[in-house]
Amino acid sequence: MRIAITGGTGFVGSNLAAALARAGHEPVLIARHARSSLGFLTHAIGLDDPALLASAFAGCEAVAHCAGINRETGSQTYQRVHVEGTRHVVAAAKAAGVKRIALTSFLRARPDCASPYHESKWAAEELVRHSGLTFTILKAGVIYGKGDHMVDHLTRAFLTFPVFGLVGYGAPRVRPAAVADVTGILLAALVEGKLAGKSVAVLGPDEMTLPQAVRRVAEVVGKVPPMLRLPVAFHYGLAWFAEKVMTTPMTSLAQVRMLTEGVVDPLPWADELPDDLKPATPFSDATIRAALPPLKRFGTGDLVCARRAGRKGPKPQLLGG
């Protein structure tokens, strides 16, 4: 089965491509920053041109729409990527004769909440729900695994700073879901046609406070810095600054909003997954260890100015949801 994946070189998209290939299917990757090292057919295009997308979708039976951003930069705004990009993906899928689409969204995406990220993800959901295509929407919480932002950025923060600042004075809760479980749900939707017409909450089996999750990762890394609760306003300021100066921010404004709210309850609603598709991988020392990146600190190579000067730094990533 041939399946197109937008954001195909991002975290969720690349893991989905590998899972599809292992199951004997043919992934077709759509990505602005193509990487031939993945070994799959890749179209180096964005989401701006429905005609180009339709050409890339030709011969595909389904589309996994995993492209997304967690901060705005230049022309890559939430409106352009999440809303207009999704509108173009839907139009292209129809033009190419694709019948099935799965969208990776956010657990608490909703309208009228004063967060451009949340509102744009909800608008994308609504476009897919009313597309006329057979759809499944994954309203995912925190996803972790090799190549993620969560474990990667926590690890680098532990190695870089003498203390770790926790978000606010409350105890927001999280239920981290392993990326392998998330791709399993996508495969069931895209290949087997399960969950048609559903908007499902995707949450891991272990619920904990954010400080507990942070400490668990720190203990696996072997470096547990003092942890201080800092005002939410401080974290918004830090995120604003990081978005301005870093190619891939250590934290973003959208992420601060997510963590302030907690990531365990879907808004405004979500369908429940059947038992056989509920994420079951524990957020354990073993699974965290498997997700660890090469250990390194944040440094000058992470700065926008380093890239502009021609120095090697990480490329901005399209997220998987």
Q: Is 165 part of a structural domain of the chain?
A: yes
Determine the structural domain holding residue 19 and report its residue range.
Answer: 2-308
Which CATH number fits the domain that encloses residue 158? 3.40.50.720
pLDDT of 182 strictly over 90? yes
pLDDT of 317 strictly over 70? no
Tokens standing for 38? 């993945």
pLDDT of res. 39: 83
pLDDT of res. 160: 96
pLDDT of res. 33: 76
The one-letter code for the residue type at 296 is K
For all residues of the chain together, what is the average pLDDT?
93
pLDDT of res. 26: 97
Q: Name which of 216, 236, 217, 215 is nearest 226 in CA terms.
A: 215
Q: Is 45 part of a structural domain of the chain?
A: yes
Output the CA–CA distances (angstroms, integers) from residue 106 to 68, 110, 258, in the order listed: 10, 9, 9
Mean pLDDT, rounded, for 298-312: 77
3 state DSSP class of 285: helix
- 31-68 burial by CB neighbour count: b if 16+ within 10 A, else e? bbeeeeebebebbebbbeebebbbebbeebbbbbbbbb
Q: Is 120 part of a structural domain of the chain?
A: yes
Domain count within the chain? 1
Q: Is 178 part of a structural domain of the chain?
A: yes
Q: Is 319 part of a structural domain of the chain?
A: no
pLDDT of 308 strictly over 90? no
Entry pTM: 0.93
Q: Is 207 part of a structural domain of the chain?
A: yes
pLDDT of res. 306: 75
Output the CA–CA distances (angstroms, integers) from residue 275 to 39, 174, 186, 267, in the order listed: 34, 20, 15, 21
Residue 276 sits at φ, ψ, to 5 deg, of -75, -10
Determine the angle formed by the axes of helices 116-129 and 253-261, rounding to 10 degrees.
Answer: 80
Helices (H), the chain: 11-22, 50-57, 78, 85-95, 116-129, 150-160, 179-190, 210-221, 232-245, 253-261, 285-291, 304-308
Q: Is 53 part of a structural domain of the chain?
A: yes
Alpha carbon distance 121, 127 (integer Å) = 10
pLDDT of res. 298: 95
Mean pLDDT, rounded, for 233-259: 95
Mean pLDDT, rounded, for 243-252: 94
pLDDT of 293 strictly over 70? yes
pLDDT of res. 80: 97
pLDDT of res. 305: 85
- Express each pLDDT in 73-119 by its tens digit: 889 999 999 999 999 999 999 999 999 999 999 999 999 999 999 99
Q: Is 314 part of a structural domain of the chain?
A: no
